[in-house]
Amino acid sequence: MTATMPDILVNVIIFVLAMFVGFEVITKVPPTLHTPLMSGSNAISGISIVGALLIAGMGEGMMFDIVGMVAVIAATINVVGGFMVTDRMLRMFRRDTDTN
């Protein structure tokens, strides 16, 4: 039997498995890290930048140029801002033993 799976089925399988990976990987997060985890994972959700770049580079006319560029700007703010602010927060966290 050589029936190929439709794309959407493959996508659903990947999505469900990745959700489980997410739940397993993150599970117990100490409250100290709730905010950085959120802003860091938020930056990861800026992965749509990949799609945005493809649109902006398509060269199919003004409508696509505008939609693409707005998407690139939004995603880039999300990615760059998210990772930078997370790093800024995590730099402040220290243990007692690091004092002076």
Partner 1 sequence: MDTRFLMMQLAYLLSAVLFILGLKRLSHPDTARGGNQLAAIGMLIAVVATLVGGEIVTWQWIIGGLLIGTVVGGLMARLVKMTAMPQMVGLFNGFGGLASGLVAAAEYLRYSMGVAGTSHVPLDASLSIMLGTLIGAVTFSGSLVAFGKLQGIVTEKAVKFPGQQALNAGLFLGILALMGWLIYETPLAIAAADAGTVNLAYWGLWGAAMLLGILLVIPIGGADMPVVVSLLNSYSGLAASAAGFVLNNNVLIISGALVGASGLILTRIMCKAMNRSLANVIFGSFGQTAGKGPVAKGEKRTMADVNDVQADDVAMLLAYAKQVVIVPGYGLAVAQAQHKLRELCDNLESRGVNVKYVVHPVAGRMPGHMNVLLAEANVPYNQLYEPEDVNPDMANVDACLVVGANDVVNPAARDDPNSDLYGMPIIEVDRAKHCVVMKRSLNPGFAGLDNELFYLRNTMMLFGDAGDSIGRILEEVKQL
> Minimal distance in Å, beta carbon 5 to partner 1?
11
Q: Of residues 31-60, which lie at the interface with partner 1 (CB under 8 A)?
A: 31-60
> Minimal distance in Å, beta carbon 3 to partner 1?
16
CA distance 11 to 51: 16
* 28 phi/psi in degrees, rounded to 5: -95, 105
Q: Of residues 70-89, which lie at the interface with partner 1 (CB under 8 A)?
A: 70-89
| 5 is a site residue for partner 1 (CB under 8 A) | no
Q: Of residues 16-35, which lie at the interface with partner 1 (CB under 8 A)?
A: 16, 18-23, 25-35
What are the Cα distances from residue 12, in Å, to 20, 22, 88? 13, 15, 36
- Do residues 49 and 9 lie in contact, with contact meaning Cβ atoms separated by under 8 Å? no
